[in-house]
Amino acid sequence: MATSVVARGKIRLAQKNEMKIPVGWAISKDGEETDDPNVALDGGSVLPVGGPKGYGLTFFVEVLSSLLSGASFGPHIGSLYTDEKQNVGQFFLVFKADLFTDFETFKTRMIQMRSEIKNTPLAKGFDHIYLPGELEFIQQEKREKEGVPLTKAVFNELKQVAEENKIKGFY
């Protein structure tokens, strides 16, 4: 789970498309808020979700997934966009629900919780309440049916990579 306010890839996409990013997504290497993706990606940082409480969650996730696993952490993680080794870690947490409560009761309560959330009266201007991960699931289904839209910049980059690697059939 990313604990940043936005995925770093969205900042890279804004950079490729020469677009600004919303203030509140990232800071410069000097700690100043920025709307410039180039500044954010040049030694800056993506901000954690949820302010100070989100920072606490981010810290906790970093300890579990990096320090506990012996992997690199924070700025010591290699870049995804170079040949440098990343050395990322993983942390998986599994619960055996019936050790805490009766499993059928747990399932019934999960269904109840979902139903109560989904049936909460909507705020003005909203037409739906989404559960965590639901938007991504809907988007995945849509992309599987309709394909993945590409900006011209991303399309041209893919085309160049295809040509460099002599991949045939790329439009």
pLDDT tens by residue, the chain, 171 residues: 678 999 888 999 899 889 999 999 999 999 999 999 999 999 899 998 988 888 899 899 999 999 999 999 988 888 877 888 899 999 999 999 999 999 999 999 999 999 999 999 999 999 999 999 999 999 999 999 999 998 888 899 999 999 999 998 877
Distance from C-alpha of 3 to C-alpha of 6, rounded to nearest angstrom: 8
Q: What is the pLDDT of residue 83?
A: 86
Distance from C-alpha of 24 to C-alpha of 110, rounded to nearest angstrom: 34
Residue 47 contacts residue 26 (beta carbons within 8 Å): yes
The tokens describing 144, both together, are 């599987």
Residue 162 contacts residue 170 (beta carbons within 8 Å): yes
SS3 48: strand
Distance from C-alpha of 43 to C-alpha of 36, rounded to nearest angstrom: 12
Q: Per this entry, what is the length of the chain?
A: 171
